Chain A
Amino acid sequence: MTRALARRLALTLPTLAGVLVVAFLLLNVAPGDPVLEMVGERADSATIARLRAELHLDDPLPVQFGHYAWGVLHGDLGRSYVTRQPVMTELLGRFPKTAELALAAMALASVCGLGLGVIASLRPGGFADRVAMLGAYLGVSFPVYWVGLVLIFVFALALRWFPPSGYGGLAYLVLPALTLGMRSIAVLARMTRGAMLEVLGSDFVRTARAKGLSELAVVGRHALRNALIPIITVLGLDVGSYLTGSILTETIFSWPGVGRYVLTAISKRDLPAVQGSILFLSVVFVLVNLVTDLVYAKADPRIAYD
Chain B
Amino acid sequence: MPASRPARRVLLALAAVALACGRNGAGNARTLVYYESYDPRSLDPALSTDVPTGEMVTLVFDGLTAFDPDGRLVPGLADRWRVDRSGLHYVFHLRPGVQFQDGRPLVAQDVAASFRRVLDPRTMGGRAWPLLPIAGAQDFAAKKSPELAGVRALGDTAVAIDLAEPLAIFPKFLAMPVASIVPDPAPTDLAQRPVGTGPWRFVSWQHDDQLVFAQNPTYWGGAPLADSLRVRIIPEPLTLAAEFEAQRVSVIEIPFSETARWQALHPTWLVRKPALRVIYLALNNRRGALRDVRVRQAINYGVNVTEILHRVYADRGIRARGAIPPVLPGGDTARAGYDYDPARARALLASAGYAGGLDLQLWISATNVPLARVAEAIQADLARVGIRAELVARDASSQREAARAGRADMTLLDWWADYPDADNFLYPLFASASFGPGGNYAFYSDPETDALIRQARRTTNDTARVALYARIDERVYRAAPWLYLWFPVDLWARQPYVAGWDLPVIFNGQHWARVLATP
Closest Cβ neighbor of A43 among chain B residues:
B437
List 10 interface pairs A-B (beta carbons < 8 Å), by A numbering.
A47-B126, A50-B121, A83-B42, A83-B47, A84-B47, A90-B207, A165-B234, A170-B18, A254-B232, A260-B235
* Contact of B191 with A by CB under 8 A: yes
Report yes or no: B397 in contact with A267, Cβ–Cβ below 8 A: yes
Which of A31, A93, A185, A252: most chain B CB closer than 10 A? A31
Contact between chains at A135 and B209 (CB < 8 Å): no
Give bound CA distance, A90 to B234, whole Å.
Answer: 18
- Chain B residue nearest to A185 (CB atoms) is B1
In Å, the complex CA distance between A82 and B210 comes to: 18
- Of the 9-residue stretches A16-24, A156-164, A200-208, which lies at the interface with chain B? A156-164
Whether A85 lies near B191 (C-beta < 8 A) is: yes
> When chains A and B are docked, how far (Å) is the Cα of A218 from the Cα of B295?
81
| Candidates A42, A54, A132, A135; contact of B437 at CB < 8 Å | A42
Q: A50-B121, A256-B207 are in contact. Are A42 and B395 (CB under 8 A)?
A: no
Specify which chain A residues have a CB less than 8 angstroms from the CB of B416 in the assembled complex. Answer: 41
Tell me which residues from 326 to 382 in chain B have a Cβ below 8 Å from any Cβ of chain A.
Answer: 367
Tell me the complex Cα distance, A74–B336, Å: 66
- Highest count of chain A CB atoms <10 Å: which of B3, B18, B129: B18
Are A38 and B14 in contact, CB atoms less than 8 angstroms apart? no
Q: A168-B23, A174-B18, A254-B236 are in contact. Are A163 and B208 (CB under 8 A)?
A: no
Q: What are the residues of chain A within 8 A of B233 when measuring CB–CB?
A: 254, 256
| B44 contact set on A, CB distance < 8 A | 84
Contact partners of A48 in chain B: CB under 8 A:
437
CB closest residue in chain B, given A93? B207
- Whole-angstrom CA separation of A141 from B64 in the bound complex: 57
Q: How far is the CB of A77 from chain B (nearest CB, A)?
A: 16
B15 touching A165 by the CB < 8 A rule? no
Q: How far is the CB of B43 from chain A (nearest CB, A)?
A: 10
With a cutoff of 8 Å between Cβ atoms, the chain B residues found around residue A163 in the complex are 18, 22-23, 25, 246, 248
Q: Does B239 contact A (CB under 8 A)?
A: yes
A contact residues around B243 at 8 Å (CB): 164-166
- Bound together, the chains give a CA A171 to CA B19 distance in angstroms of 8
Partner pick for A39 among B49, B418, B434, CB 8 A cutoff: B49
Give B3-27 as 1s and 0s: 1 = Cβ < 8 Å from A's Cβ atoms: 1101100110011011101110100
Q: How far is the CA of A82 from the CA of B141 in the complex (A)?
A: 20
B residues less than 8 Å from A180 (CB atoms): none
Residues of B within 8 A of A90 (CB): 207
A168 to B23, CA, bound (A): 7
B contact residues, range: 35 or more
Tell me if A254 and B235 are in contact (CB < 8 A).
Answer: yes
Question: Is B415 engaged at the interface, CB distance under 8 Å to the other chain?
Answer: yes
Nearest-neighbour CB distance to chain B for A81, whole angstroms, equals 9
A150 to chain B, nearest CB (A): 11
Choose among B42, B246, B404 the residue that contacts A84 (Cβ–Cβ < 8 A): B42
Chain A residues whose C-beta falls within 8 Å of the C-beta of B236 in the assembled complex: 165, 251-252, 254
Whether B418 pairs with A169 at a CB distance below 8 angstroms is: no
Given known pairs A162-B15, A169-B23, A251-B235, the reply for A94 and B208 (CB within 8 Å) is yes
Query: Given A46-B141, A156-B246, A162-B15, A267 and B128 touching (CB < 8 A)?
Result: no
Say whether A152 faces chain B, with CB atoms less than 8 Å apart.
yes
Q: In the complex, how many residues of chain A place their beta carbon closer than 8 angstroms to a beta carbon of chain B?
A: 74
Is the CB of A32 closer than 8 A to any CB of chain B?
A: yes
A40 within 8 A of B: yes
Question: 0/1 per residue, B219-238, Cβ < 8 Å to A?
Answer: 00000000000001111101
Q: Mark B110-151, 1 if CB is under 8 A from A, else 0.
A: 000000000001101011110010000010011000000000
Rounded to whole Å, the gap between the CB of B153 and the closest CB of chain A is 25
Residue in chain B with minimal CB distance to A247: B235
Q: Does A297 contact B (CB under 8 A)?
A: no
18 extra A-B contacts, CB within 8 A, seeds A36-B401, A44-B132, A269-B397: A33-B397, A38-B49, A39-B437, A42-B129, A44-B128, A47-B128, A85-B191, A112-B7, A115-B6, A132-B2, A152-B242, A156-B246, A160-B246, A162-B14, A164-B246, A165-B239, A170-B18, A171-B21
Cα separation A98 to B379 with both chains bound (whole Å): 42
Are B208 and A161 within 8 A (Cβ)?
no
- Chain A, Cβ-Cβ closest to B119: A47
Say whether B124 contacts A54, CB under 8 Å: yes
Asked whether B14 lies within 8 Å of A171 as measured between CB atoms, the reply is yes
CB within 8 Å of B: which of A123-176? 131-132, 135-136, 138-139, 149, 152-153, 156-157, 159-172, 174
Tell me if A239 counts as interface (CB < 8 A to partner B).
no
Q: Evaluate whether A32 and B401 lie within 8 angstroms (CB atoms) in the complex, with A115-B4, A156-B242, A256-B209 already known.
A: yes
Query: Residues of A at under 8 Å CB distance from B?
Result: 31-33, 35-48, 50-51, 54-55, 82-85, 90, 93-94, 111-112, 115-116, 119, 131-132, 135-136, 138-139, 149, 152-153, 156-157, 159-172, 174, 182, 185-186, 251-254, 256-257, 260-261, 264, 267-269
Q: How far is the CB of B50 from chain A (nearest CB, A)?
A: 6
Q: A139 to nearest B CB, angstroms?
A: 5
In the bound complex, residues from chain A placing their C-beta under 8 Å from that of B274 are none
* A257 / chain B contacts, CB cutoff of 8 Å: 208
A169 vs B39: C-alpha distance when bound (angstroms): 21
Q: How close is B291's CB to chain A, nearest CB, in angstroms?
A: 23
Q: Closest A-chain residue to B249, C-beta based?
A: A164
Contact, CB under 8 Å: B17 / A171: yes
Q: How far is the CA of A82 from the CA of B52 in the complex (A)?
A: 13
Decide if A164 touches B248 in the complex (CB within 8 Å).
yes
Given known A-B contacts A51-B126, A132-B2, A169-B21, A267 and B437 have beta carbons under 8 A apart: no
Nearest Cβ on chain B to A258's Cβ, whole angstroms: 10
Contact, CB under 8 Å: A166 / B191: no
B438 contacts A43, C-beta separation under 8 Å: yes
Kindly provide the distance from the CB of A94 to the nearest chain B CB, expressed in whole angstroms. Answer: 7
Interface status of B511 (Cβ within 8 A of chain A): no
Contact check, A31 vs B242: say whether CB atoms are below 8 A apart: no
Residue of A nearest to B427 (CB): A42
A131 to B209, CA, bound (A): 38
Given the contacts A186-B1, A253-B239, A267 and B396 also touching, CB distance less than 8 Å: yes
- A169 to B14 alpha-carbon distance, docked (Å): 11
In the complex formed, the residue of A with least CB distance to B397 is A32
B403, closest chain A residue (CB): A36
Q: Does B321 contact A (CB under 8 A)?
A: no
A161 vs B415: C-alpha distance when bound (angstroms) = 41
Contact B401–A31 (Cβ < 8 Å): yes
Residue in chain A with minimal CB distance to B44 = A84
If the complex has contacts A33-B397, A44-B129, are A170 and B4 also in contact, measured as CB distance less than 8 A? Answer: no
Within 8 A of A (CB), among B420-471: 428, 434, 436-439
B41, CB-defined interface residue at 8 Å = yes
Whole-angstrom distance between the Cβ of A108 and the nearest chain B Cβ = 9
Given contacts A90-B207, A166-B232, A267-B395, contact A42 B418 (CB under 8 A): yes
Q: Is B79 an interface residue (CB 8 A)?
A: no
Q: Shortest Cβ distance from A113 into chain B, in angstroms?
A: 10
Q: Which residue of A lies closest to B191 (CB)?
A: A84
Residues of B contacting A119 in the complex (Cβ-Cβ under 8 angstroms) = 4
Shortest distance between the CB of A83 and any CB in chain B (Å): 5
Q: Which chain A residues lie closer than 8 Å to B191 at the CB level?
A: 83-85
Is B21 a contact of A170 with CB atoms below 8 Å?
yes
CA gap between A171 and B367 in the complex, in Å: 31
- A166 pairs with B397, CB closer than 8 A: no
A260 CA to B10 CA, complexed, in Å:
29
B492 at the interface (CB under 8 A from A): no
- Which residue of B is nearest A263, CB measured? B235
